Every structure is written in C-alpha cells, then in structure tokens.
Amino acid sequence: KRSTIYVSLEPCSHYGKTPPCADLIIEKQIPRIVIGCQDPFSEVAGRGIRKLRNAGREVTVGVLKEECKHLIRRFISFNTLHRPFITLKWAESADRFIDTVRTDGTPVILSSPLTSMLVHKKRAEADAIMVGRRTALLDNPSLTVRNWYGHNPIRIALDRALSLPNDLQIFDGETPTFIFTEQERPKKKNVTYINIDFSHNPLTQIMKELYQRKIQSLLVEGGSQLLQSFIDSALWDEIFIEKCPDRLYSGVKAPEISDKFSYSTEEHFGRQIWHYVHQD
Ligand SMILES: NC(=O)c1ccc[n+]([C@@H]2O[C@H](COP(=O)([O-])OP(=O)(O)OC[C@H]3O[C@@H](n4cnc5c(N)ncnc54)[C@H](OP(=O)(O)O)[C@@H]3O)[C@@H](O)[C@H]2O)c1
C-alpha cells in the first residue's frame, strides 16, 4: 500500500491469457504507478491507464518513453503495422560485396567466430528467419541456433517453382520451416508450403501470412536480391550490417540503402564493425 510500481508498458485492462494487470494493481492497493509507454494494442490503448486513474491512483505516463518503446518494438510493429518487426542483416567486405562469384562450394567468411556467435543470439531472439532461393541453394544454411542459447526461429525460404533440392539442411525436419511457393504442396516433415501469387507483391502477401501466424519478428539473412526487395518495398524496421575490413574485389554486390538513412549506432568486435540503421 506504500509502494510505487514502475512498468515499461501500460498495464493491460482486458482478459487475454491472464486477467487484467490493472485490476491486480487496484486490488493490491498500490497507490502510485509509473508507466514508460502506452500500450499500442487496440484492446488496451489507454484503457489500462484510465482504469487506474478512475480507481483514484496516481499515474505518471511517459517516463523513459523512447527506451521503453525500443524494448517492445517487435510488439509495437506487430500491433500497429500488422506485420512482423523486420530486421535485415548482412555481412559485407570493405568494397561492399557479400560473397565472391561462385556457383557452388562454401560461402566466403566475412564474420569472425565472435560475431557469428552473436548472430546466433539474434536468431534466438527472432520468431522467424528468412533467406532467398539462391542463398538456400548455394550456402545450404541450417538457419538454426547452435552457438547461443534459445529456440530456433521458424525457417522461411522462397521457392517459387519448387526447384530447391530435398537434401538441403532447411529440409532436415529438425525445426518448423515455411516455403513460399506457387506450386502444388508436397508432403515433408515439419515443412509447411504456403501458396502465394509471385506476380503480385509477394513480400506483402508473405507479411500478411506471417501476421496471421502470429510471427512478431523476422530476421532476413540474405541474399542480396531478397534484401534489396525488402528495402525497395520499405519493408524493414532495422538493418544491421557487419563490415569486414578485407576486400573481395568482385562478387555479389551488397544491397543499397538510400542516402537519407544513416548509420545510427555501431558496435566494434575486433576487426568487424556492426552498423545499425533505423527507420526513424
Ligand atoms: N554476406 C552475407 O551476409 C550473405 C548472406 C546471405 C547470402 N549471401 C550470399 O548472397 C548470394 C545469394 O544472393 P542473391 O542475391 O544471388 O540471391 P537471393 O537473394 O538469396 O535469392 C534470390 C532468389 O530468391 C527469390 N526472391 C528474392 N527476392 C524475391 C522477392 N522479393 N519476391 C520473390 N522472389 C524473390 C528469387 O527466386 P526465383 O529465382 O525462384 O524467382 C530470386 O532469384 C550467395 O552468394 C550467398 O553466399 C551473403
């Protein structure tokens, strides 16, 4: 009865998986509530704050608002834009290539053991991870979390004509995988084939599907064509680019971002630097 409760997000006012938090605060007779930011979710959107004020509580809203919004950025994108929070990620050489020219063999290594471990941490924080058809084919990535703790994200690949071979790691059945295609759906363990119309804004259709499947965050790990199509469609919230100081001289060009976006923050990991770009 003499305490102050500090919350990053407005206490909810509706019955979801649990009863309303605002009711519990009222029941416990907590007199003072300090809230970071209002809940963007339409079923709450200020109703929790009103409920507390109507019960005679002292409510302060907006303390460290931007920091609190950053904490819940995935939840905000999901509830306001009706799509997952989209992070685009790639590693590039000093002369802006993401791979050498090749038709098979292993991809060029631009990351260090430390940064590749931290990418696995990013994977563990995402609900889903996506690659283009050529990356799935040429790099044969498993897209799982191995060098960090946490769950595997749902793997997503595009395969319009179903040309990807069955022995790729993404088809190993180890973790749920979505394949967006316009072909008949074959049966494969842990693989869900989702039909979309590739001739008409495929990314928009994919985002709609992911929203319906309650996927709140998506990490797009390449290649260049897929990343560029997200950038060109303005479908991204955050980009992080791993810069390697070595040169490749030729190969697959890194995606291009408009000059109006600048690097907002950077993190140094030995020779590698992570640059972040944000929409706002
Ligand atoms: N350094 C890094 O961070 C990094 C990360 C990943 C990959 N890579 C490298 O990148 C290279 C592959 O990149 P890439 O640009 O050639 O290929 P990609 O982006 O991996 O795949 C391109 C293919 O994906 C499909 N696709 C992509 N965007 C689409 C869209 N918006 N709508 C519908 N389909 C779409 C198309 O498949 P269809 O042809 O079937 O229509 C397209 O041909 C590899 O060399 C790989 O090693 C580097």
The CATH code belonging to domain 4-71 is: 3.40.140.10
Nearest CA, atom 7, ligand 1: 223
pLDDT over 70 percentage in the chain? 100
Ligand 1 nearest-atom number relative to CA 135? 20
Measured on CA atoms in the order 250, 227, 142, 73, is the torsion positive or negative? positive
* 137 Cβ contact partners less than 8 Å away, ≥ 6 residues apart: 164, 165, 168
Residue 42 has pLDDT above 80, yes or no: no
Which residues lie with the beta carbon below 6 Å from any ligand 1 atom?
90-91, 98-99, 107, 110, 131-135, 138-139, 158, 160-161, 198, 202-203, 221-226, 229, 252
Residue of 115, 225, 243, 246 with the most ligand 1 atoms within 8 Å of its CB, for mutation:
225
Q: What kind of fold does domain 74-278 have according to CATH?
A: Dihydrofolate Reductase, subunit A (3.40.430)
**CATH 3.40.140.10 domain extents, the chain:** 4-71
Nearest CA, atom 46, ligand 1: 135
Residue 14 has pLDDT above 90, yes or no: no
DSSP designation for 207: H
Nearest CA, atom 5, ligand 1: 222
Residue 236 has pLDDT above 80, yes or no: yes
In the chain, alpha helices (H)? 21-27, 47-54, 65-71, 73-81, 113-125, 133-138, 202-212, 224-232
- Cα(225) to centroid(ligand 1), Å: 5
pLDDT given at position 207 = 98
pLDDT given at position 64 = 96
Residue 40 has pLDDT above 90, yes or no: no
pLDDT tens-digit readout, 171-202: 999 999 999 999 988 889 999 999 999 999 99
Mean pLDDT to the nearest integer, 215-221: 98
Mean per-residue pLDDT over the chain, rounded: 94
